[in-house]
Amino acid sequence: MVTISPLPIRVDVTTLPFETPQNLFSLLPPDSAIAWVRNDDGLVAYGEYARLEVKGPNRFVEASDWWREHVHTFRATDTVRTSGTGPLAFGSFAFSENETSVLIIPEVIIGRRGTKSWITTIGDQQMAINDPYLDTKNYTITWGEGSRSAVSWEGAVANAVLRIQNGELDKVVLARDVQAVASEPIDIRRLMAALAEAYPKTWVFAVDNLIGATPELLVRLTKGLVTSRVLAGTIRRSGNDERDLALAASLARSSKDLEEHDYAVRSVADALTPFCSSMNVNESPFVLHLANVMHLATDVNGVLADSLNTRDCLQLVRALHPTAAVCGTPTTSALDLISEIEGLNRGRYAGPVGWIDSDGDGEWGIALRCAEISEEDSRKIRLFAGCGIVAGSIPEEELAESQAKLLPMRDALES
């Protein structure tokens, strides 16, 4: 199924220098916000020039075709010329091909990268830039169960461990959700600002009511250079620096976490190899320290092969999704088991989220540490977390890990 907007004959796209405030999110309206920000640099956007909703096995190809058709209608003027200038499309793809994915071309895009900052507008209309917001309404949060109880989810983990030990598969990622209701409509800007302040090393994103702070870069394509950051294997921080150093060392030695991490790295490297003329994969993972948890992390870097005439970064996204970090190994067996025992509809959780430019370059993360605000009632929100299950997994420990992964969004909501 494809839902598309009609194409115009020709449209002007203008990128000009623009002085931005420190808090990029302050330029956004309280709803319909779009963002991709890390360490105070990145992109925020609003207004819908065009929108695509798509599902099915060819959703990435159809999204790429739709974007290229629009690019051919743009008459661009760009006086800044850096990564992220010019027309962009922001996307959030569902984990499953059976759920709806979305790609949005905003009317106004504001960006900052180092010393450069800019504004891009699409079309003839003059879009008003919002004054930086000063206050948002305070609200209280009421928490409820998700699609299944914590005890029930532990049972699913135990089932998965047994299936793995019986040789049906090597690893599976099981997700869980929790529901929350706020006393007032939830302000997306407030959530993003809280996430950015607490987790500056992550990519804070918002696309079509899906908001989060992901530490995992699925793929970046910049002028032929390919980068991916793989995270798998997690331990919760204690809050004591000396204790955390010891925990980091234990994570780096953990056979269970190293096994889980190796599956994820191999799935990414295997997916990217056909597209690259050369590739570099670190032999051993490093420990990435975030505010609430630590992860085993590996960077995968490659050079795009000229001979393949790769169309754009969405082609790489299609090859990578789903990685072992959010699905499991082997992929088909893991998907089948997820469908059988997970007990929830992931929607766009654990799917690719990011942006693409008119040259086909872009950045895409995996929608983790995230939540989705209800379209029907903006006071309601659903939070997601997932854990990689291998033969040595212990259900109680996996539940504790999922609670740690829910903390970023819980804290942002209650800030």
Average pLDDT, the chain: 92
pLDDT at site 123: 80
Catalytic residues, by residue number, are 171, 216
- Can you tell me the mean pLDDT for 333-339? 97
- pLDDT grade, residue 3 (50/70/90)? low
pTM of the model: 0.92
Say how far apart CA 218 and CA 319 lie, in whole Å.
11
- Can you tell me the mean pLDDT for 116-142? 72
Say how far apart CA 63 and CA 61 lie, in whole Å.
5
- Can you tell me the mean pLDDT for 125-145? 67
pLDDT at site 126: 55
Query: Mapped to the 3 state alphabet, what secondary structure does the chain carry?
Result: CEECCCCCCCEEEEEEECCCCCCHHHHCCCCCCEEEEECCEEEEEEEEEEEEEECCCCHHHHHHHHHHHHHCCEEEEECCCCCCCCCEEEEECCCCCCCCEEEEEEEEEEEEECCEEEEEEECCCCCCCCCCCCCCCCCCEEEECCCCCHHHHHHHHHHHHHHHHCCCCCEEEEEEEEEEEECCCCCHHHHHHHHHHHCCCCEEEEECCEEEEECCEEEEEECCEEEEEEEEEEEECCCCHHHHHHHHHHHHHCHHHHHHHHHHHHHHHHHHHHHEEEEEECCCCEEEECCCEEEEEEEEEEEECHHHCCCCHHHHHHHHCCCCCCCEECHHHHHHHHHHHCCCCCCCCCCEEEEEECCCCEEEEECCCEEEECCCCCCEEEEEEEEEECCCCCHHHHHHHHHHHHHHHHHHHHC
On the question of pLDDT at 125 being above 60, the answer is: no
**pLDDT, tens only, 22-61:** 889 989 987 679 999 999 999 999 999 999 999 999 999 9
pLDDT at site 402: 95
Are 31 and 21 in contact by the 8 Å Cβ rule? The answer is no
- Residue 4: phi and psi, rounded to 5, are -130, 160
Token pair of 111 as six digits: 């960006």
- pLDDT grade, residue 134 (50/70/90)? very low
pLDDT at site 291: 83
Which of 191-195, 211-215, 280-284, 366-370 has the weakest average pLDDT?
Answer: 280-284
- Residue 40: phi and psi, rounded to 5, are 70, -5
Of residues 331 and 127, more confidently modeled? 331
pLDDT at site 19: 93
pLDDT over 90, % of the chain: 81
- Per-residue burial over 44-67, b if 16 or more Cβ lie within 10 Å, else e, is bbbbebbbbbbbeeebbebbbebb
**pLDDT, tens only, 55-81:** 999 999 999 999 999 999 999 999 999
Token pair of 216 as six digits: 């995992």
pLDDT at site 290: 86
**pLDDT, tens only, 165-217:** 999 999 999 999 999 999 999 999 999 999 999 999 999 999 999 999 999 99
- Can you tell me the mean pLDDT for 355-366? 97
- pLDDT grade, residue 232 (50/70/90)? confident
- Can you tell me the mean pLDDT for 281-310? 88
Say how far apart CA 150 and CA 133 lie, in whole Å.
38
On the question of pLDDT at 88 being above 80, the answer is: yes
Are 106 and 119 in contact by the 8 Å Cβ rule? The answer is no
Are 298 and 263 in contact by the 8 Å Cβ rule? The answer is no
Say how far apart CA 253 and CA 247 lie, in whole Å.
10
- Can you tell me the mean pLDDT for 96-122? 96
Say how far apart CA 43 and CA 174 lie, in whole Å.
31
Domain 2-130+140-414: CATH superfamily, name plus number: Anthranilate synthase (3.60.120.10)
- pLDDT grade, residue 316 (50/70/90)? very high
pLDDT at site 8: 59
- Can you tell me the mean pLDDT for 215-244? 92
Token pair of 405 as six digits: 């992964």
On the question of pLDDT at 227 being above 60, the answer is: yes
Say how far apart CA 415 and CA 397 lie, in whole Å.
27
Strands 141-144 and 2-3: unpaired
pLDDT at site 372: 97
On the question of pLDDT at 143 being above 80, the answer is: yes
On the question of pLDDT at 373 being above 80, the answer is: yes
Say how far apart CA 175 and CA 336 lie, in whole Å.
14
